Structure 1
């Protein structure tokens, strides 16, 4: 898992997530939109369409569409993922922005989700299980160059990065000091050898 070069706040991560495409079922006709990141095709009920998450939320609040939840955001699938997280030391494979998408949809489009309260419970369980696994895995997976963890989401990476960065910097400092000490030791040994050779030549 490579770390981002810049630290993103949870608010920034949530903002970035709003560009994710999500499927909607429009309730009203709407012409195509020329957006900065994408050009949407005309929305014609009841044809499904993929639009940025922020647009889906905007239209949903105006009751102009219904949101189609991602395939992974179902009670059955989340129950399976919770069991996988509990039974395996590895991290379950999740979408890169699973936490942010789930939170936004639960906050703004809960009426379009099947059993939103159960979904929220499973999302919270997944989050807690994965956080505990991160804390347990870090001592053996971190070094001065990278963290060896796979299948973490963007929010998880950004949450762990600030204090992991300090640990990595500390390890680099320790390795640098150890390397300097080894160099000084080799130089001293070399100087001692030179002195011994000079003494032998004097005799």
Structure 2
């Protein structure tokens, strides 16, 4: 799966908006959305939230996980530990990019959030590369009939990586 496909999937994630218009319901193939009442929060897919925001029909509510303090803790935990931290959202990178590109005026401390997410991403990709290199080296040692050093690898769980991280690594 390439990064654009992963972003397409991420756009289906739900986000809360505060509409400034009235509409009973939207009837979509994926399900009904609404009702939309001015000032009352409603959950919609990210793609719809961005579309409404671009048309000045709503304000996007920042997801709970997109908090500077929480993201700083995640970044520090990611840097300190050899294992991979479970991220607060499986599409954290894509959603951050989409929301900051289209609704940064609705997101307090947008620049700090962008930096924290990018730093965390860089750390995770570096760990992923190191982990893959260690795995390849272990396979070469096994192929030569030697015994690998007991601390020469990092155990990686596929559950600890997002689809975009794996996709980005595969492209490198």
Check whether the contact 2:83–2:156 (CA below 8 A) recurs between aligned residues.
no
| Superposed CA offset, 1:43-87 (max 9, x none) | 112211110111000111111111111111111111111111111
User: Does residue 48 of structure 1 match 2:41?
Assistant: yes
Count of aligned pairs: 154
**Structure 1 residue runs without a partner (length 5+):** 1-7, 164-203
The answer for the alignment partner of 1:125 in structure 2 is 119
Which residue of structure 2 lines up, in the alignment, with residue 159 of structure 1?
168
8 Å Cα contact 1:22-1:56 kept in structure 2:
yes
Alpha-carbon displacement from aligned partner over 1:146-199 (angstroms, at most 9, x marks no partner): x84341111012222357xxxxxxxxxxxxxxxxxxxxxxxxxxxxxxxxxxxx
Q: How does 1:13-162 map to 2 (within 5 A)?
A: 13-94=6-87, 95-141=89-135, 148-149=156-157, 150-161=159-170
How much is the aligned-residue C-alpha RMSD, in angstroms?
Answer: 1.9
- TM-score normalised by L of structure 1: 0.70
CA distances 1:10-30 after superposition (whole Å, capped 9, x unpaired): 111111211111111111112
Residue 148 to residue 39, structure 1, CA distance change in 2 (3 Å) = same
